[in-house]
Amino acid sequence: MTATEAAIWHDVECGSYEADLPLWEELAERCGGRVLELGSGTGRVALHLARRGHEAVALDRDPDLIATLTERAGELPVEPLVADARDFALSEPVALALAPMQFLQLLPSAEDRLACLECLAASLQAGGLLAAALVERLPSSDGALPPFPDVREIDGWVYSSLPIAVEVAEDQILLRRLRQAASPTGELSEAEDELQLQALTAAQLEAEATRAGFTPAGRRSTPETEAHVGSTVVLLERCR
Protein backbone atom coordinates (compact mmCIF):
# COMPACT_ATOMS: atom_id res chain seq x y z
CA MET A 1 0.00 0.00 0.00
CA THR A 2 1.39 3.37 -0.99
CA ALA A 3 1.49 6.39 1.29
CA THR A 4 -1.43 7.90 -0.57
CA GLU A 5 -3.55 4.77 -0.14
CA ALA A 6 -2.67 4.46 3.56
CA ALA A 7 -3.63 8.07 4.20
CA ILE A 8 -6.83 7.79 2.17
CA TRP A 9 -8.13 4.74 4.04
CA HIS A 10 -7.19 6.28 7.37
CA ASP A 11 -9.12 9.41 6.44
CA VAL A 12 -12.10 7.44 5.11
CA GLU A 13 -12.45 5.29 8.23
CA CYS A 14 -11.33 7.72 10.95
CA GLY A 15 -11.16 11.25 9.60
CA SER A 16 -14.83 12.19 10.00
CA TYR A 17 -15.10 11.08 13.63
CA GLU A 18 -15.55 14.14 15.87
CA ALA A 19 -17.49 12.90 18.92
CA ASP A 20 -14.37 12.68 21.09
CA LEU A 21 -12.83 16.03 20.15
CA PRO A 22 -14.64 18.14 22.80
CA LEU A 23 -13.27 15.89 25.55
CA TRP A 24 -9.70 16.06 24.24
CA GLU A 25 -10.00 19.87 24.03
CA GLU A 26 -11.29 20.02 27.61
CA LEU A 27 -8.43 17.88 28.91
CA ALA A 28 -5.82 19.84 26.96
CA GLU A 29 -7.10 23.08 28.49
CA ARG A 30 -7.15 21.51 31.94
CA CYS A 31 -3.62 20.10 31.77
CA GLY A 32 -1.82 22.85 29.88
CA GLY A 33 1.53 22.08 28.27
CA ARG A 34 2.24 19.74 25.38
CA VAL A 35 -0.09 16.94 24.33
CA LEU A 36 0.98 13.54 22.99
CA GLU A 37 -1.36 11.61 20.69
CA LEU A 38 -0.74 7.89 20.25
CA GLY A 39 -1.65 6.36 16.90
CA SER A 40 -2.06 9.79 15.37
CA GLY A 41 -2.43 8.57 11.80
CA THR A 42 -2.92 11.57 9.51
CA GLY A 43 -3.51 13.88 12.47
CA ARG A 44 -7.23 13.90 13.23
CA VAL A 45 -6.71 14.82 16.90
CA ALA A 46 -3.22 16.35 16.94
CA LEU A 47 -3.99 18.84 14.16
CA HIS A 48 -7.35 19.72 15.72
CA LEU A 49 -5.68 20.58 19.03
CA ALA A 50 -2.82 22.43 17.34
CA ARG A 51 -5.31 24.63 15.48
CA ARG A 52 -6.60 25.63 18.91
CA GLY A 53 -3.19 26.65 20.15
CA HIS A 54 -1.99 23.48 21.88
CA GLU A 55 1.48 22.13 21.16
CA ALA A 56 1.16 18.49 20.11
CA VAL A 57 3.39 15.47 19.56
CA ALA A 58 1.89 13.11 16.96
CA LEU A 59 3.19 9.54 17.27
CA ASP A 60 2.56 6.77 14.76
CA ARG A 61 4.68 3.84 13.62
CA ASP A 62 3.63 4.26 9.96
CA PRO A 63 6.01 6.71 8.27
CA ASP A 64 3.60 7.18 5.37
CA LEU A 65 0.86 8.45 7.66
CA ILE A 66 3.28 10.70 9.53
CA ALA A 67 4.48 12.12 6.20
CA THR A 68 0.90 13.07 5.33
CA LEU A 69 0.38 14.57 8.79
CA THR A 70 3.59 16.59 8.50
CA GLU A 71 2.51 18.03 5.16
CA ARG A 72 -0.91 18.97 6.55
CA ALA A 73 0.52 20.50 9.71
CA GLY A 74 2.41 23.23 7.89
CA GLU A 75 3.33 25.86 10.50
CA LEU A 76 1.09 24.42 13.22
CA PRO A 77 2.82 23.52 16.53
CA VAL A 78 2.93 19.77 15.86
CA GLU A 79 6.00 17.56 16.33
CA PRO A 80 5.71 14.39 14.21
CA LEU A 81 7.29 11.24 15.60
CA VAL A 82 7.65 7.91 13.81
CA ALA A 83 7.87 5.36 16.60
CA ASP A 84 6.33 2.25 18.10
CA ALA A 85 4.11 3.08 21.07
CA ARG A 86 5.73 0.21 22.99
CA ASP A 87 9.24 1.61 22.64
CA PHE A 88 9.65 5.36 22.38
CA ALA A 89 11.12 8.32 24.22
CA LEU A 90 10.32 12.02 23.95
CA SER A 91 12.77 14.91 23.91
CA GLU A 92 10.83 16.55 26.75
CA PRO A 93 7.86 15.46 28.87
CA VAL A 94 4.24 16.23 28.04
CA ALA A 95 1.39 17.24 30.31
CA LEU A 96 -1.26 15.07 28.63
CA ALA A 97 -1.17 11.84 26.63
CA LEU A 98 -4.13 10.68 24.56
CA ALA A 99 -4.92 7.19 23.27
CA PRO A 100 -8.05 7.79 21.15
CA MET A 101 -10.20 5.33 19.23
CA GLN A 102 -9.35 2.24 21.29
CA PHE A 103 -5.65 2.53 20.49
CA LEU A 104 -4.52 0.50 23.51
CA GLN A 105 -6.83 -2.33 22.43
CA LEU A 106 -4.98 -2.57 19.13
CA LEU A 107 -1.88 -3.75 21.00
CA PRO A 108 -1.79 -7.55 20.87
CA SER A 109 -1.25 -8.45 24.53
CA ALA A 110 -1.17 -7.25 28.14
CA GLU A 111 2.64 -7.30 27.93
CA ASP A 112 2.52 -4.92 24.97
CA ARG A 113 0.14 -2.62 26.82
CA LEU A 114 2.44 -2.59 29.85
CA ALA A 115 5.41 -1.66 27.66
CA CYS A 116 3.36 1.20 26.19
CA LEU A 117 2.19 2.35 29.62
CA GLU A 118 5.78 2.38 30.92
CA CYS A 119 6.86 4.55 27.97
CA LEU A 120 3.93 6.86 28.66
CA ALA A 121 4.80 7.15 32.35
CA ALA A 122 8.36 8.09 31.39
CA SER A 123 7.05 10.67 28.90
CA LEU A 124 4.60 12.46 31.20
CA GLN A 125 5.34 15.17 33.69
CA ALA A 126 4.84 14.26 37.34
CA GLY A 127 1.10 14.54 37.85
CA GLY A 128 0.54 14.39 34.09
CA LEU A 129 -2.58 12.71 32.71
CA LEU A 130 -3.19 9.81 30.33
CA ALA A 131 -6.65 9.50 28.74
CA ALA A 132 -7.40 6.22 26.95
CA ALA A 133 -10.60 5.43 25.05
CA LEU A 134 -11.90 1.84 25.32
CA VAL A 135 -14.84 -0.06 23.93
CA GLU A 136 -15.79 -2.35 26.79
CA ARG A 137 -18.81 -3.92 25.10
CA LEU A 138 -20.65 -3.59 21.84
CA PRO A 139 -24.28 -2.39 21.78
CA SER A 140 -26.92 -4.91 20.79
CA SER A 141 -27.70 -4.91 17.07
CA ASP A 142 -31.17 -6.45 17.48
CA GLY A 143 -33.50 -4.71 15.08
CA ALA A 144 -30.85 -2.18 14.04
CA LEU A 145 -30.45 -1.11 10.44
CA PRO A 146 -27.19 -2.03 8.68
CA PRO A 147 -24.53 0.66 9.16
CA PHE A 148 -23.85 3.21 6.46
CA PRO A 149 -20.44 2.98 4.79
CA ASP A 150 -17.77 5.61 5.38
CA VAL A 151 -17.39 7.34 2.01
CA ARG A 152 -15.03 9.98 0.69
CA GLU A 153 -14.36 11.38 -2.80
CA ILE A 154 -10.77 12.32 -3.63
CA ASP A 155 -9.59 13.50 -7.06
CA GLY A 156 -12.57 11.89 -8.76
CA TRP A 157 -12.13 8.56 -6.98
CA VAL A 158 -14.85 7.39 -4.58
CA TYR A 159 -13.70 5.37 -1.59
CA SER A 160 -16.09 3.39 0.58
CA SER A 161 -15.51 1.34 3.74
CA LEU A 162 -18.47 -0.75 4.93
CA PRO A 163 -18.51 -2.80 8.16
CA ILE A 164 -19.76 -6.24 7.12
CA ALA A 165 -19.26 -8.37 10.24
CA VAL A 166 -18.33 -8.11 13.91
CA GLU A 167 -17.12 -11.23 15.72
CA VAL A 168 -16.99 -11.04 19.50
CA ALA A 169 -14.91 -13.63 21.35
CA GLU A 170 -13.87 -13.83 24.98
CA ASP A 171 -10.52 -12.18 24.36
CA GLN A 172 -11.05 -10.01 21.28
CA ILE A 173 -13.40 -8.18 18.94
CA LEU A 174 -12.84 -8.67 15.21
CA LEU A 175 -14.26 -6.11 12.78
CA ARG A 176 -14.42 -7.00 9.09
CA ARG A 177 -14.82 -4.20 6.56
CA LEU A 178 -15.27 -4.15 2.80
CA ARG A 179 -13.12 -1.50 1.17
CA GLN A 180 -14.15 -0.38 -2.32
CA ALA A 181 -12.55 2.14 -4.63
CA ALA A 182 -14.31 3.41 -7.77
CA SER A 183 -12.14 5.18 -10.34
CA PRO A 184 -13.29 8.26 -12.29
CA THR A 185 -13.94 5.95 -15.25
CA GLY A 186 -16.13 3.60 -13.22
CA GLU A 187 -13.71 0.76 -12.56
CA LEU A 188 -14.27 -0.85 -9.17
CA SER A 189 -11.75 -2.60 -6.94
CA GLU A 190 -12.50 -4.09 -3.56
CA ALA A 191 -10.85 -5.98 -0.72
CA GLU A 192 -11.71 -7.03 2.80
CA ASP A 193 -9.87 -5.54 5.78
CA GLU A 194 -9.77 -6.82 9.36
CA LEU A 195 -9.33 -4.87 12.58
CA GLN A 196 -8.67 -6.73 15.84
CA LEU A 197 -9.37 -5.17 19.23
CA GLN A 198 -8.27 -6.96 22.37
CA ALA A 199 -10.96 -7.28 25.04
CA LEU A 200 -10.18 -4.82 27.83
CA THR A 201 -12.27 -3.26 30.58
CA ALA A 202 -11.65 0.01 32.36
CA ALA A 203 -10.95 -1.85 35.59
CA GLN A 204 -8.39 -4.09 33.87
CA LEU A 205 -6.60 -1.09 32.38
CA GLU A 206 -6.55 0.72 35.71
CA ALA A 207 -4.98 -2.35 37.36
CA GLU A 208 -2.37 -2.73 34.62
CA ALA A 209 -1.52 0.98 34.74
CA THR A 210 -0.71 0.91 38.45
CA ARG A 211 2.20 -1.41 37.60
CA ALA A 212 3.58 1.28 35.29
CA GLY A 213 3.40 4.13 37.82
CA PHE A 214 -0.12 5.48 37.31
CA THR A 215 -3.03 5.97 39.66
CA PRO A 216 -6.68 5.95 38.50
CA ALA A 217 -8.06 9.49 38.09
CA GLY A 218 -11.65 8.92 37.05
CA ARG A 219 -13.56 7.94 33.95
CA ARG A 220 -15.33 9.86 31.22
CA SER A 221 -17.16 8.80 28.09
CA THR A 222 -17.64 9.72 24.46
CA PRO A 223 -21.09 9.38 22.88
CA GLU A 224 -22.20 6.79 20.38
CA THR A 225 -22.83 8.03 16.84
CA GLU A 226 -24.51 6.46 13.82
CA ALA A 227 -21.14 5.21 12.59
CA HIS A 228 -19.15 4.69 15.80
CA VAL A 229 -19.73 3.04 19.16
CA GLY A 230 -19.39 5.07 22.32
CA SER A 231 -16.26 4.72 24.44
CA THR A 232 -15.29 4.67 28.08
CA VAL A 233 -12.37 7.05 28.59
CA VAL A 234 -10.08 5.97 31.42
CA LEU A 235 -8.12 8.78 33.10
CA LEU A 236 -4.79 7.85 34.68
CA GLU A 237 -2.46 10.20 36.54
CA ARG A 238 1.26 9.67 36.60
CA CYS A 239 2.34 9.26 40.22
CA ARG A 240 4.18 12.29 41.51
Cβ(48)–Cβ(28) under 8 Å? no
Confidence of residue 145 (pLDDT cuts 50, 70, 90): very low
Give me the percent of the chain exceeding a pLDDT of 70: 93
pLDDT of 137 reads 74
Q: Are 134 and 205 contacting, i.e. CB atoms less than 8 angstroms apart?
A: yes
Say which CATH number the domain at 234 has. 3.40.50.150
Mean pLDDT of 89-99: 96
Collapsing DSSP to helix, strand or coil, 63 comes out as helix
Contact of 123 with 214, CB cutoff 8 Å: no
85 and 119 fall within a common domain: yes
Query: What domain range includes position 111?
Result: 3-137+200-238
Q: Are residues 105 and 172 in the same domain?
A: no
219/190 same-domain check: no
Number of domains in the chain: 2
The CATH code of the domain that includes 168 is 2.20.25.110
212 and 190 within one domain: no
pLDDT number for residue 140: 52
- Classify residue 144: in a domain, yes or no: no
DSSP three-state, residue 148: coil
Residues 127 and 183 both lie in one domain: no
Please name the residues in contact with 49: beta carbons below 8 A apart, sequence gap of 6 or more.
24, 25, 28, 35, 37, 56
- How confident is the model over 30-67, as pLDDT tens digits? 999 999 999 999 999 999 999 999 999 999 999 999 99
Picking from 199, 202, 178, 201, the residue whose alpha carbon sits closest to that of residue 189 is: 178
Mean pLDDT of the chain: 91
Q: What is the CA radius of gyration of the chain?
A: 18
